[in-house]
Homo-oligomer: A and B are copies of this chain.
């Protein structure tokens, strides 16, 4: 016990005893056992993190935020990539539950269904990231995807584009919320909201090129495209360059997320800047508060987005 205390709470132990412990630790190369500690204390200091993708920087930034908040607090995390698949989610939740995590930080877990039940049966706090549309008994940190879509579309209309189209891939719930914002803006302006190319394929630069080509074919009058993320927008820009279509002269392009290349593309991409790092950091902070028994009063934290106008639209 004295050893245990000397390691965790040195102040509780006489300097002499402490010194002997420290000497032994150094001599033996002692490494504490996480498993034993978890078993004895029933606190694992592990949190499970579930994200739908790592292939663009969106969730990598969020992970960095989580890391920076949870790391100094002595927490480890299990990072699971669900690849937007519900089966993979269920599988990861099951294996992670085995590790007795103190909490979960997730994106893309449905509010209902078997996974949700598993989670609440385990009595592990869950913070949802990127999605504010949660029931009051759930915790969430994010911004309004719908309003972001609306804001960007409004901007395009104000710039004088009369026939904007929407290009989207993956079609996860957040993308569909952006789309809802797009449609609402067009309807309010009395314009046709149905200029859209949607596919459930995973998003990528290459796909952006293909979808732009498809848009040109199906809606030749289209004068601006709102791509549901910057990868797609960059691909669309490349495709326009390939075809000699002037951007923004003949075709305006807007993206979403403000990934690093967007500021440097020629022309640079108009986009919505999202607080990706902050979402991770604040979600982690919220979880920490819950774990410490001091949950904040409001359980939905809106971190806002900003419109970033650049050259492409």
A: residues with CB less than 8 A from B are 29, 31-36, 38-39, 44, 54-55, 57, 60, 63-64, 67, 76-79, 81, 94-95, 97-100, 121-122, 204-206, 208-209, 231, 234-235, 238-239, 241-242, 260-261, 263-266
Contacts and interface: CB of A to CB of B under 8 A. Distances in A.
A215 B35 CA distance: 54
Contact of A266 (B57, B231, B238): B238
Given A36-B39, A206-B260, A76 B78 contact: yes
B266 A32 contact: no
Contacts of A266: 238-239, 241-242
Contact of A234 (B31, B97, B261): B261
Contact of A206 (B33, B239, B263): B263
A79 to B, nearest CB: 5
A241 B266 CA distance: 6
A100 B34 contact: yes
A81 B29 CA distance: 25
A36 B40 CA distance: 9
A55 B67 CA distance: 14
B78 A78 contact: yes
Contacts of A263: 206
B205 A264 contact: yes
B67 A81 contact: yes
